Structure 1
Amino acid sequence: MKIKDIDVEMTNPFVSIIMGVYNAGKSNMLQQAIESILNQTMQNFEFIICDDASTDSSYNILQSYMHDSRIVVIKNDKNRGLAYSLNKCISIAKGKYIVRQDADDYSDTSRLNVLVEYMESHPNYDIVGSNIKYFDESGLWGKYVLPQYPQKKDFLFTVPFIHATVILKKESILKVGGYRVHKETFRCEDYDLFMTMYSKGMRGANIQRYLYNVREDSAAQKRRKYKYRIDEAKVRLSGYRKLKLLPIGYLYALKPLLVGLIPTSFLKVIKDKYYQRRSKK
């Protein structure tokens, strides 16, 4: 089935795009994210957005888009985190596929078309992501290349998918119960989900094209609280156990704890060099 046929033939949305929003109302970044989806070349989608009890103008901005029949806005009664918000979106999703989008990033206009065509022609994959470009207040500044066919061992060093780039089979994410909502997964719900899916025999790929743009500015460079590093170590250890990556996994589980001890300024230098090296692959 070609994408143009999907647009014409499907009465229900073929794709459900899900996005969690929390205090993303500054600098027009939320509008940029939404517009990048509304302007996709593939139009048979629903865009489910969950406001996680924002305290700024985010919900008002979302309401201004509710006249568009493709957009569904829901709201949490209190701040519950991204995993809970995404599960809430998935619970009402009608599409065959689930596509992620973050509220401070933007997608290339062909992104949905490319992702869906790939999934339709590669039914053996449950997760498909893409390479990314980085941008800040000054514009695009870097690129990042992901492994084309991530294997279990790739989860040792880091997550081999960029969460916001992925498309997933809805049936596959439902089989594992969606995102695990727990304090340990608050900042690494994607790591936890993807390792769980791989432990169940599911597999993924990364399209070797730059379809998504990630905001990496001064705000994003701020030091993560050390308790989130501890939580990531716990999530890694749990995932490695499921993937049968122990005992070597014990060493890699220490990585976030060690990284958290590096001064922020020096860590930025390391990250910049790492991004530059990955962009050349």
Structure 2
Amino acid sequence: MELSVVTAVYNGEAHLEEAVHSILNQTLNDFEYIIVNDGSNDRTREILDRLTDPRVKVIHSEMNNGAANALNTGIHEARGEWIALQDADDVSIEHRLQRQLDYIKSHPEFAAVGALIQCISGEESIDPDFLKMESFFFNAKDPERFRDEQFYSTPICHGTGFFSKSAFQNIGGYDPNFKIAYDYDLWSRMFEEGEIGRVPEILYQYRVRTHSLAHTNRIETTCEVLLSTFKSIVKVKFGHLNRIPKLLLLGSQKEIAFYKEKIASRNRYSEMLFLEQKMSAIKKAYSLYRFHKIDGIVLASNSQADRSFRYFVSKGLSFGSQVFKVWIPDELS
């Protein structure tokens, strides 16, 4: 079996049929399609039980265990060498699977690839300009910089994900500790297995839902992204230490306060020190690193970050090895 498509769904009755049929009607038809019903209590089970296509395998979970767990279950059952994701309320363009399969096979340096997206609305009417802006958020990202932004940005839209099952297994799959940022966490670790690329054409319609967890709980989304960032930095860059690394966060007073209030008690991955992002503190941070008092420096991405970064580079430190960026939205900082 060359390809398996995996969908996790929870209470997805509104758009599930459209999502499923966008996969079953692909120009490429030799694949299996595993759909995990993650304890839905709407008509999801009824919709899935009506499917008769022999390529489909439905797994019903009696309890809602979260998307990360459901996706891990589906991918564990998959027989394919390659895994294609399909989110339960989105739509794949009819030649998506063929294009991504051809693309990743012709680029052996890639462990995963995505695609350009078109944002669409769901039950509620959403301003077309907002949809264009959301599309631009993913599509404008430069694939040449994906690795540079490994700990700072999500390279591809989750539902466009197409990757090697062996690479997924090697990095340990999705982390169920993350209820919102499980995709961000997965991609940051996928770089351990190879590059992440993107087919340069629109192959996926991403449905924007203003009531999704990521939109309605911005603070928790930010917390999960930051926790995932620290986890990945520690695992990828400091795993050889065999101890909890000590990192220094350079940020504004508000950013440091946000970390201490929302993140500190949940960050079991690293020990943190803090300095307000001023020139004297930047020099002190370098001194601490030079004399092995800290293992790395984390910059809050604010107006001072570029100045700090240039200073550290001038001292021989490099981005993604000793110096890292994290993101806190302006309205939360």
- Scaled by the length of structure 1, the TM-score of the pair is 0.79
- Tell me the SS of whatever aligns to 1:133: strand
Distance 2:188 2:106 in 1: 24
Alignment pair present for 1:178 and 2:164: no
Asked whether the equivalents of residues 180 and 193 of structure 1 are also in contact (C-alpha less than 8 Å), the reply is yes
1:43 to 1, 21, 29: 29
> Partner residue of 1:127?
112
> Partner residue of 1:219?
211
Matches within 5 A, 1:79-90: 79-90=64-75
Alignment pair present for 1:261 and 2:332: yes
Matches within 5 A, 1:94-243: 94-137=79-122, 141-142=131-132, 143-144=135-136, 145=139, 146-182=141-177, 185-198=178-191, 200-220=192-212, 222-224=215-217, 226-243=219-236
Structure with bigger gyration radius: 2
Distance 2:194 2:26 in 1: 28
Query: CA RMSD of the aligned region, Å?
Result: 2.3
> Partner residue of 2:6?
18
- Tell me the SS of whatever aligns to 2:225: helix
Distance 2:104 2:151 in 1: 26
CA distance 1:150–1:129, shift in 2 (3 Å): farther
Q: Which amino acid aligns with 2:88?
A: A
Q: Displacement of 1:243 after TM fit? A: 4.5
Asked whether the equivalents of residues 6 and 35 of structure 2 are also in contact (C-alpha less than 8 Å), the reply is yes
CA distance 1:76–1:259, shift in 2 (3 Å): farther
Deviations 1:112-167 (A, max 9, x none): 01000011111221100111110114697423314224433213442111111010
Asked whether the equivalents of residues 175 and 182 of structure 2 are also in contact (C-alpha less than 8 Å), the reply is yes
Asked whether the equivalents of residues 16 and 47 of structure 1 are also in contact (C-alpha less than 8 Å), the reply is yes
Deviations 1:64-84 (A, max 9, x none): 11x110110002231111111
- Tell me the SS of whatever aligns to 1:154: coil
Alignment pair present for 1:32 and 2:26: no
Asked whether the equivalents of residues 49 and 89 of structure 1 are also in contact (C-alpha less than 8 Å), the reply is yes
CA distance 1:90–1:210, shift in 2 (3 Å): same
Percent same amino acid among aligned pairs? 29
Stretches (4+) displaced over 6 A: none
- Scaled by the length of structure 2, the TM-score of the pair is 0.67
CA distance 1:44–1:60, shift in 2 (3 Å): same
2:54 to 61, 66, 69: 69
- Tell me the SS of whatever aligns to 2:149: helix
Asked whether the equivalents of residues 81 and 164 of structure 2 are also in contact (C-alpha less than 8 Å), the reply is yes
CA distance 1:259–1:215, shift in 2 (3 Å): farther
Q: Which amino acid aligns with 1:43?
A: N
Q: Which has the higher contact order (CA 8 A, sep 6+)?
A: 1
2:45 to 53, 59, 66: 59
Distance 2:87 2:145 in 1: 22
Asked whether the equivalents of residues 147 and 206 of structure 1 are also in contact (C-alpha less than 8 Å), the reply is no
Deviations 1:24-54 (A, max 9, x none): 112xx11110010011000011110000000
Q: Which amino acid aligns with 2:94?
A: T
Distance 1:15 1:259 in 2: 42
Deviations 1:193-219 (A, max 9, x none): 121221x24211111111011011443
Gaps of 5+ in 1: 1-11, 263-281
